[in-house]
C-alpha cells in the first residue's frame, strides 16, 4: 500500500508540471526541465486497435506466431501517410553536469528515465547518471513521448518509432546548441537502442553505445509472450488511468522480472522498485513501427559499443554469447565497433550487480575514442 500511495503522489506531481518548469533533481548537479520539440516525419497507418486485455492477448499471439510479419500474419500496418506530419511535443528531461561531452540517454519499453538514475535507498551504484557525472560528463536523460513527464500522446498515431527517432534528433540539436556540448554521444537501452541507432543514422554524433540490443528481432517472441501484455489504464488505473487504451504494460512483477532480470545476478528489491516505481507503459504504435522500419546502419560513422548482459531474453533469447559478433557487422562504416556479450546480467543491465563494471566499460570506451 505504501508503494502504491507513494507512486500515486509522484505521478500526480509529474502530471502537474507546466511546460518550461525547471526544478532540482534528486541527484546533485542535475535539474528537471521541459524541452519543447517539433518534428515532421511520415506516419504509419495502423489497422489494429486495443480496447481490453482480450485484444492485448490477441496482439501477443499475432506478434509471436512463427509466421509473424509474413503475408499470412502481416504486421498491423496498413501503409503510411504520403506526406510528413508535423507535431509539437514537450519532453521531460534531466540535465546534469558541465562537461564538454554530453551523453544523451534513451530508455527502453516499460521503462522511464528513472532507469538511468534510480531513486531508491542504496541505488547509487546502479545510477549511470551519477557515474557519468563522476567521470566528468554531462547528461541529458529524458522520458520518451507518451511516457512519464513527457507529452501524453496518441498511442497509435504519435508514439511511433520514427517519431521517437526524430525527437531524439531534436535533443541532439538541443545538447549542441543549448547545452553547448562540444561532443554528443548517444546511449540507448533496449527499444531506446534502436531509437539511438536510427538517430545516429540521421544526425551526426560522436559515439553510440547500445545495451539490451542485438539488431535482430529473431528472439523477440519470448519478450512479447513473457511480458503478458495488459492494458495499462486497467492494470493500474491510479497510475495510468489518464492514458488511452492503446498503452500497454506487463501483467505483473514476475512477468516483468522474467523479461528484464536474470537470477542470481540481481536483487529482488531492485526488481520490485522497477515494477512499482520506474516502469511506464508503452504504446501500441511502437512495436509494429519499429518492426516495419529499416535502419540504414551504413550511415552510422561514429564508433559503437555493444554492451550485453549474457542472459538477455528479448535481445538474444536468453543467451547472447556468439550472437553479438554478428550484430557488430551491421555497423560496417563505423569508425570502430567493440562488443561484450557475456556480462552476468539479464536485459536491464544497469539494474544488475555488474552495473558499476559495465559503466566503467562505457567510460573506458569513450576515453579511448576521445569522447
The least confident of 5-14, 20-29, 202-211 is 5-14
Return mean pLDDT, the chain. 91
Span 50-67, pLDDT tens digits:
999 999 999 999 889 888
Q: Is the pLDDT of residue 226 over 80?
A: yes
Residue-level pLDDT at 311 = 98
Give the DSSP letter of residue 150. S
Residue-level pLDDT at 99 = 78
CB 179 within 8 A of CB 142: no
Q: Is the pLDDT of residue 222 over 80?
A: yes
Range of the domain at 108: 2-368
Residue 312: give its domain's CATH number: 3.40.50.1820
Q: Is the pLDDT of residue 3 over 70?
A: no
Into how many domains does the chain fold?
1
Residue-level pLDDT at 25 = 61
Span 314-361, pLDDT tens digits:
999 999 999 999 999 999 999 999 999 999 999 999 999 999 999 999
Peptide bond just before 43 cis, omega within 30 deg? no
Q: How far is CA 10 from the centre of its chain?
A: 21
Non-local (6+) Cβ contacts of 65 within 8 A are: 73
Give me the mean pLDDT over the 181-195 stretch.
Answer: 98
Span 232-283, pLDDT tens digits:
999 999 999 999 999 999 999 999 999 999 999 999 999 999 999 999 999 9
User: How confident is residue 14, by pLDDT bands cut at 50, 70 and 90?
Assistant: very low
User: How confident is residue 27, by pLDDT bands cut at 50, 70 and 90?
Assistant: confident
Span 230-245, pLDDT tens digits:
999 999 999 999 999 9
User: How confident is residue 10, by pLDDT bands cut at 50, 70 and 90?
Assistant: very low
Give me the mean pLDDT over the 25-34 stretch.
Answer: 85
Closest CA to 341 of 362, 303, 312, 304: 312
Sign of the torsion formed by the C-alpha atoms of 312, 313, 319 and 325: negative
Q: Is the pLDDT of residue 12 over 70?
A: no
| Residue the block writes with cell 544523451 | 104
Integer CA distances (angstroms), 315 to 200, 222, 239, in order: 20, 10, 28
At 2, which helix (H) or strand (E)? helix 2-16
Give the DSSP letter of residue 147. S
Amino acid at each position: 500500500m505504501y508503494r502504491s500511495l507513494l507512486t500515486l503522489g509522484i505521478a500526480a506531481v509529474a502530471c502537474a508540471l507546466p511546460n518550461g518548469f525547471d526544478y532540482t533533481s534528486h541527484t546533485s548537479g542535475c535539474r528537471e526541465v521541459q524541452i519543447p520539440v517539433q518534428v515532421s516525419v511520415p506516419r504509419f497507418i495502423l489497422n489494429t486497435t486495443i480496447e481490453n486485455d482480450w485484444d492485448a492477448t490477441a496482439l501477443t499471439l499475432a506478434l509471436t506466431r512463427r509466421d509473424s510479419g509474413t503475408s499470412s500474419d502481416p504486421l498491423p500496418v496498413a501503409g503510411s501517410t504520403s506526406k510528413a506530419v508535423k507535431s509539437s511535443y514537450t519532453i521531460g528531461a534531466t540535465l546534469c553536469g558541465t562537461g564538454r561531452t554530453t551523453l544523451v540517454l534513451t530508455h527502453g519499453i516499460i521503462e522511464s528515465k528513472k532507469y538511468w538514475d534510480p531513486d531508491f535507498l542504496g541505488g547509487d551504484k546502479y545510477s549511470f547518471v551519477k557515474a557519468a557525472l563522476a567521470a566528468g560528463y554531462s547528461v541529458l536523460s529524458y522520458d520518451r513521448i507518451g511516457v512519464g513527464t513527457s507529452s501524453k500522446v496518441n498511442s497509435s498515431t504519435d508514439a511511433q518509432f520514427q517519431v521517437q527517432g526524430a525527437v531524439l534528433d531534436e535533443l541532439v540539436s538541443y545538447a549542441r546548441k543549448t547545452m553547448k556540448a562540444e561532443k554528443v554521444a548517444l546511449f540507448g537501452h533496449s527499444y531506446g537502442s534502436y531509437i539511438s541507432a536510427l538517430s545516429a543514422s540521421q544526425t551526426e554524433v560522436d559515439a553510440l553505445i547500445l545495451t539490451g540490443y542485438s539488431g535482430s528481432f529473431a528472439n523477440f517472441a519470448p519478450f512479447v509472450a513473457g511480458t503478458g501484455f495488459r492494458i495499462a489504464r486497467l492494470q493500474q488505473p491510479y497510475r495510468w488511468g489518464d492514458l488511452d487504451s492503446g498503452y500497454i504494460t506487463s501483467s505483473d512483477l514476475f512477468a516483468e522480472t522474467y523479461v528484464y532480470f536474470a537470477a542470481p545476478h540481481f536483487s529482488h528489491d531492485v526488481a520490485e522498485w522497477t515494477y512499482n516505481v520506474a516502469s511506464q507503459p508503452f504504446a501500441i504504435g511502437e512495436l509494429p513501427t519499429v518492426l516495419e522500419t529499416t535502419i540504414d546502419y551504413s550511415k552510422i560513422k561514429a564508433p559503437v559499443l555493444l554492451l550485453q548482459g549474457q542472459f538477455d531474453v528479448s535481445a538474444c533469447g536468453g543467451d547472447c554469447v556468439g550472437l553479438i559478433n554478428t550484430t557488430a557487422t551491421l555497423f560496417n562504416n563505423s569508425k570502430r565497433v567493440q562488443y561484450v556479450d557475456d556480462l552476468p546480467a539479464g536485459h536491464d543491465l544497469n539494474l544488475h550487480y555488474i552495473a558499476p563494471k559495465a559503466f566503467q566499460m562505457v567510460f573506458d570506451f569513450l576515453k579511448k575514442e576521445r569522447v
